[in-house]
Amino acid sequence: MCNNDRLFAAISSFDVIIVGSGIVGSACARELADAGLNVAVCEESVVGGGATAAGMGHVAVMDDSDAQFALTNYSQRLWWELAPNLPADAEFSGSGSLWVAADDEEMAEVHRKSTYYSARGVAVDVLDSGGVAKAEPNLRRGLAGGLRLPADAVCYAPAAALFLMRGIPLLRGTVTTLTPTGFELSTGVKVSTGAVVLATGVAAYRLAPELPVYPRKGHLLITDRYPGYLNHQVIELGYLKSAHSHDADSVAFNVQPRVTGQLLIGSSRQLGVADPAVENAMLRRMLARAVEYMPGLETLRGIRAWAGFRAATPDNLPLIGRRPGHPNTFIASGHEGLGISTSLATAKLIADELLNRTSAIPRGPYDPARSFDPHA
Amino acid sequence: MPEIRVDGMAVNAAEGVTVAIALLSAGRNRFRTSLSGEPRAPLCGMGVCMECRVTVDGQPHALACQVVVREGMEVAT
Amino acid sequence: MIVVVGAGPAGIAAALAANECGRAVTVIDENPAPGGQIWRGDADQRWVVRFRNSGIPLLAGARVVWGDPVSRTLLLELPDGARQIEYETLVIATGSRERFLPFPGWTLPGVFGAGGLQALAKSGLPVQGKNIIVAGTGPLLLAVAAYLRGKGANIRLIAEQTPAASLWPFGWNLAKRPAKSLQGLRLAWDLAGVPYVPASWVVSANGEGRLQSVVLNRRGTVVTEECDYLAIGFGLQPSTELATLLVGPDTLVAATGDAELALLEGRAAGYRAAGNVPKAAAMDPDLRRARAFADELDKTFALRDELRHLADADTIVCRCEDVPLGRLEGKDSFRDAKLHTRCGMGPCQGRICGPALNFLFGWPDTSQRPPILPARIGTLLAEDQGLRE
């Protein structure tokens, strides 16, 4: 590691510098370094200290769109390949997800998802009311059923980011401007490099204002340790109805078992809020929703609540690829709530484009140059 | 003198004392086992350090230094 | 209504002052009875008696877990439920807790905070015949030793880290304050025959499953002393969590030091809360004197550098998450340590390791998160359940 600006400027031999050391930046750094490039990462604060630390850390497959499925599915495979090498503090746990359906309408969604995933080779189990009660005894009785995805996992992303960064120089500094040949730091130091990968999450617009990335605030609460209380990550299927509406604030029941025995309880989504403070009203709404599904949560002790910002985009897909009009700048941002899940695939796609490799999945849907006009 | 049960064993406690006093008076040194397997007992005595956590009547993470004993209380360390 | 959080000296004085001005006051405290840590179990203490006789309502056994300075509400957790309380003006008199520093063996059962062991003894822990070493720094050690001795404990010695050369001028200053020197004489009488050893500190605590002996640096000589309990205190740390969270125009914070300063600070805050500026202002000279004395105390009992080097790589720093000092190598802030080692991420919310790391590495704790104390999720939902006050 090096903090020294002069040394920083003197090292102009890096092929690529990644700006941002969240899970996405760290994954890009790892992928490019493993491809033989001379890579460094520039970080203004702590490794994995932004949305990577604030988020839940799930490695999930999602199917809002075919493109979202392709990216999450590809990335999850990469996570399972990486899993045996991850250190214990990355807390990777293949506990699986359980989507719960409250009523027949949501049960229809279970069947739709089941068909969709099965057709694409993703293992799923459809559970009836009794099956859900057996899988998660602390859920309220009388739920219609659920869908289990055994391959879904959770991890502690800041530790995973640090692991991915191993051996890669970490340069401390705040990037204020991107230049055609690199970037400039807040200290005035100019750094030149072969290419820049912008992986600053929600702060992407600060350096590339044309990017359609905006903050979506979320709250979480973690409990003390209650080993055995929960077996899967549990998510309500109402999530889909509420989570991706772009105008209203929403909450959804989403609870995760951590390796520590702690429970991580979410989730909330708010647009147009810049204050990072925990909001009582939002937290209460979120916890009330969780207690509706899992009444016993009321007696457990919460030890910490916080809020963070996801990097949202108009079409709920990340921006991965060359920045339009800037041949040496690459964007890896806009992952919203799926940054951990899709980080490893994002890194592959960035490296593929930078090195002119063929990609395992089509890159077009994530191209920062795509049209965001829904009527186009 | 309320009688409480600590890990299934009967312990007589003075009236109105906290679970922490009852356990320490009975010579119990292990209130909880730390993540690395060490025995832990009260440090701060005033509800700050969380070292005296025990399970009281099935509820985990109760602070022994804050909970007053009650006849028949089940304490698990 | 004026709400006072804390029924120690500062809270009692604030409540009485506001009450004297004719204002409605409610006091909240997590303990079952008023008096705070210093007058715990001391029902005859004259301020405690005055408070009880005033008729000011005390909400005892209530922990403030959250609040909102905009709607001016506090969220309280009680043993059997939750409650929300509204205030016009809030006086935060949450006092202090002990500062702890890590050293090998400090996690052994039998190692207590000095104030902690006193609090336990006051609440009924028998110490009769126990061999106790009192160590650390500050006048609290003397008060604790005298109290424990009065309860029949055998105080082996009091190890004060401050060198004798620094203690003499302090003693001289004390002599200039009749009340303080009287207290001092009283303590000296109560502690007659107990070795009070300056320039001495605990190097390690040892034992199988519980404390059996303590290794001390006794004025440069390393000695081993057997004992049942170690009462250790490295000074006080103000409890600022509530004040940090609820900073607002209608919030007054009564800072703390010893009981005398706390009474003055509390009274001044009580007058100000009641809008009686002249009465509060009239206290300025007394407050200045008391604060100057508190500053002198802090300077006299400043922690020596050697205490920064007691812990080795295997010594647990974060007792909740069992993070040893060695794991913090290369970390450059408390947040970095929290994020990458879990240090400070347990249920004490960094209350024990935070101040220690602040002393060891100069790290401020800038990432405090709600709730103020671990709280039942049901408590955090109190408003939704209609438990509003």
Tell me, letter by letter, the H, E, C secondary structure of chain C: CEEEECCCHHHHHHHHHHHHCCCCEEEEECCCCCCCCCCCCCCCCHHHHHHHHHCCCEEECCEEEEEECCCCEEEEEECCEEEEEECCEEEECCCEEECCCCCCCCCCCCEEEHHHHHHHHHCCCCCCCCEEEEEEECCHHHHHHHHHHHCCCEEEEEEECCCHHHHHHHHHHHHCCHHHHHHHHHHHHHCCCCCEECCEEEEEEECCCCCCEEEEEECCEEEEEECCEEEEEECEEECCHHHHHCCCCCEEECCCCCHHHHHHHHHHHHHHHCCCHHHHHHCHHHHHHHHHHHHHHHHHCCCCHHHHHCCCCCCEEECCCCEEHHHHCCCCCHHHHHHHHCCCCCCCCCCCHHHHHHHHHCCCCCCCCCCCCCEEHHHHCHHHHCCEC
Helix (H) or strand (E) holding A207: helix A204-207
Handedness of CA A356, A360, A365, A366 (dihedral sign): negative
- Is C110 a residue whose pLDDT tops 80? yes
Q: How far is C332 from chain A (nearest CA, A)?
A: 9
Best B17, B50, B65, B77 member to test C by mutation, with max C CBs in 10 Å, is B50
Secondary structure (3-state) at A357? coil
- The domain locations on chain A are 5-54+157-211+316-366, 95-150+214-312
- CA A239 to chain C, closest CA, distance in angstroms equals 21
Tabulate helix, strand, coil % of chain B (nearest 5).
10, 35, 55
Strands of the sheet with C2-5, listed across from one edge: C58-60, C25-29, C2-5, C89-92, C251-253
What are the chain C neighbours of A280 within 8 Å (beta carbons)? 66, 68, 383
Phi, psi of C297 (to 5 degrees): -55, -50
CA–CA distances in Å: residue A344 to residues A29, A151, A319, A332: 10, 16, 14, 11
In C, which residues are within 8 Å of A303 by CB distance? 346-347, 349, 371, 374
Closest-CA distance of chain B to residue C243, Å: 17
- H or E stretch at A42: strand A39-43
Question: Between A and B, how many residue pairs show a Cβ–Cβ distance under 8 A?
Answer: 7
User: Which amino acid does the sequence have at C327?
Assistant: R
Interface of A with C in 274-303 (CB under 8 A): 278, 280, 283-284, 287-288, 290-291, 297-303
Q: How far is CA A306 from CA A24, A220, A239, A322, C213, in A?
A: 21, 6, 20, 34, 43
* Contact call for residues C62 and C28 (beta carbons, < 8 A): yes
pLDDT digits (tens, 9 = 90+) for C246-291: 876 667 777 666 788 999 999 999 999 999 999 999 999 999 999 9
Rounded to the nearest angstrom, the gap between the alpha carbon of residue C115 and the centroid of all alpha carbons in its chain is 8
Are A299 and B59 a contacting pair at CB < 8 A?
Answer: yes
A-chain residues near C376 (CB < 8 A): 298-302
How distant is the Cα of C125 from the closest Cα of chain B, in angstroms? 5
Chain B residues with beta carbon closer than 8 angstroms to that of A301: 61
- For the A95-150+214-312 domain, the top CATH level (class) is alpha beta
C210 Cα to chain B: minimum distance (Å): 7
Nearest CA distance, B25 vs chain C (angstrom):
6
- For the domain C100-234, what is the CATH superfamily, name and number? FAD/NAD(P)-binding domain (3.50.50.60)
Statement: residue C371 has pLDDT above 80: yes
B3-76, what's its fold?
Ubiquitin-like (UB roll) (3.10.20)
- Between chains, do B60 and A226 touch, taking CB under 8 Å as contact? yes
Quick check: B35 and C123 CB within 8 A? no
Query: Which amino acid is residue A235, in one-letter code?
Result: I
Strands A125-128 and A145-149: what pairing?
A: antiparallel
**Are the beta carbons of C66 and A49 separated by less than 8 Å?**
no
pLDDT of residue C286: 94
Closest residue of A to C385, CA-based?
A: A288
In chain B, which residue's Cα lies nearest the Cα of A223? Answer: B61
Kind of pairing between the strands at C200-206 and C213-218 = antiparallel
- Contact C319/B43, CB-based, under 8 Å? yes
From chain C, the residues in CB contact with A308 under 8 A are none
CATH architecture of C2-97+237-297: 3-Layer(bba) Sandwich (3.50)
The answer to whether the beta carbons of residues C92 and C242 sit under 8 Å apart is yes
Residues of chain B positioned with their CB less than 8 A from the CB of C209: 29-30, 39
Mind listing the pLDDT tens digit of every residue in chain A (376 residues)?
344 555 565 566 899 999 999 999 999 999 999 999 999 999 999 999 999 999 999 999 999 999 999 999 999 999 999 999 999 999 999 999 999 999 999 999 999 999 999 999 999 999 999 999 999 999 999 999 999 999 999 999 999 999 999 999 999 999 999 998 999 999 999 999 999 999 999 998 899 999 999 999 999 999 999 999 999 999 999 865 655 555 678 999 999 999 999 999 999 999 888 899 999 899 999 999 999 999 999 999 999 999 999 999 999 999 999 999 999 999 999 999 999 999 999 999 999 999 999 999 999 999 999 998 766 5
Q: Does A158 touch chain C (CB under 8 A)?
A: yes
Out of C369, C374, C380, closest to residue A224 by CB:
C374
Distance CA C313, CA C307 (A): 15
Q: Tell me which chain C residues have a C-beta less than 8 angstroms from the C-beta of B2.
A: none
Using a CB-CB cut-off of 8 Å, the residues of chain B touching A225 are: 60-61
Give me the half-sphere count of Cα atoms (radius 13 Å) on the Cβ side of residue C371: 28
Q: Which two tokens stand for residue A116?
A: 């969709």
Return d(Cα A40, Cα A18) in angstroms, integer: 6
Please name the helix (run of DSSP H) or strand (run of DSSP E) that holds residue A102, with its range, or none.
none
pLDDT for position A259: 95
Give the nearest partner residue to A162 out of C340, C345, C376, using CB atoms.
C340
pLDDT tens, position by position, C171-214: 766 666 666 766 776 777 778 889 999 999 999 999 999 999 99
Which neighbouring-strand residues pair with C136? Answer: C160, C233
Other C-beta atoms closer than 10 Å to the C-beta of C209 total 12
User: For chain C, what is the mean pLDDT?
Assistant: 91
- Is the CB of B45 less than 8 angstroms away from the CB of C117? yes
Edge-to-edge strand list for the sheet holding A233-236: A125-128, A145-149, A97-101, A233-236, A250-257, A262-271, A214-225, A301-312, C375-376
Q: How far is C294 from chain A (nearest CA, A)?
A: 34
Taking the CA of residue A292 and the nearest CA in chain B, the distance in Å comes to 21
What is the pLDDT at residue A2?
45
pLDDT digits over B30-66, tens only?
A: 999 999 999 999 999 999 999 999 999 999 999 999 9
Do C331 and C306 contact (CB within 8 A), yes or no? no
Question: Which range, of A358-362, C124-128, C138-142, C225-229, averages the lowest pLDDT?
Answer: C138-142
Q: Which element (helix H / strand E) includes A115?
A: helix A104-119
Closest-CA residue of chain B to C353: B49
Choose the closest CB to C112 out of B29, B36, B45: B45
Using an 8 Å CB-CB cutoff, list residues of chain C that contact chain A: 66, 68, 333, 335-336, 339-340, 342, 345-347, 349, 369-371, 374-378, 380-381, 383-384
* Fold agreement (A5-54+157-211+316-366, A95-150+214-312): no
CB-CB under 8 Å, A291 with C377: yes
Cβ C144 vs Cβ B77: under 8 Å: no
Pick among A222, A262, A297, A301 to test the B interface (most B CBs inside 10 A):
A301
Chain C touching partners, 3 or more CB pairs below 8 A: A, B
Tokens of B37: 């397997």
Q: Which residues of B touch C347 (CB under 8 A)?
A: 50, 53, 61
The H or E element spanning position A83 is: none
User: Which are the contacts of A46, defined by CB distance < 8 A and separation ≥ 6?
Assistant: A53, A158, C333, C335, C336, C339, C340
Please provide the average confidence, as pLDDT, over all residues in chain B: 95
- The architecture CATH gives domain A5-54+157-211+316-366: 3-Layer(bba) Sandwich (3.50)
pTM: 0.94
Cβ neighbours for A35, distance < 8 A, ≥ 6 positions apart: A351, A355
The reported pLDDT for the residue numbered A344 is 98
B61 touches chain A (CB under 8 A): yes
Q: What is the pLDDT of residue C70?
A: 86
Give A93's DSSP letter.
B
Interface test with A, best of B61, B66, B67 (most A CBs within 10 A): B61
Peptide bond into C371 cis (omega under 30): yes
CB C247 within 8 A of CB C70: no
pLDDT of residue C82 exceeding 80:
yes
Q: What is the ipTM of this complex?
A: 0.97
Token pair recorded at residue A311: 């990097």
Burial class (CB within 10 angstroms; exposed 0-12, middle 13-18, buried 19+) of A26: buried
Cis peptide before A341 (omega within 30 of 0): no
Which chain C residue lies closest to B46 (C-alpha atoms)?
C116
The domain locations on chain B are: 3-76
Please, which residues 50-69 of chain B have a Cβ atom closer than 8 Å to chain C? 50-51, 53, 61, 65-68
Task: Please give the angle made by the CA atoms of A268, A273 and A278, to the nearest 5 degrees.
Answer: 55
**Which residues of chain B make contact with A226, given a CB cutoff of 8 A?**
60
Is the pLDDT score of C387 beyond 60? no
- Across the interface, of B29, B36, B44, the residue whose CB is closest to C210 is B29
Strand partners for A254: A235, A266
- What is the C-alpha to C-alpha distance for residues C34 and C8, in angstroms, rounded to an integer? 7
Give the one of B20, B24, B44 whose C-beta lies nearest to C98's C-beta.
B44
A164 close contact with C: CB closer than 8 A: no
Q: Which residues of B touch C98 (CB under 8 A)?
A: 44
The nearest CA of chain B is from the CA of A307 a distance in Å of 25
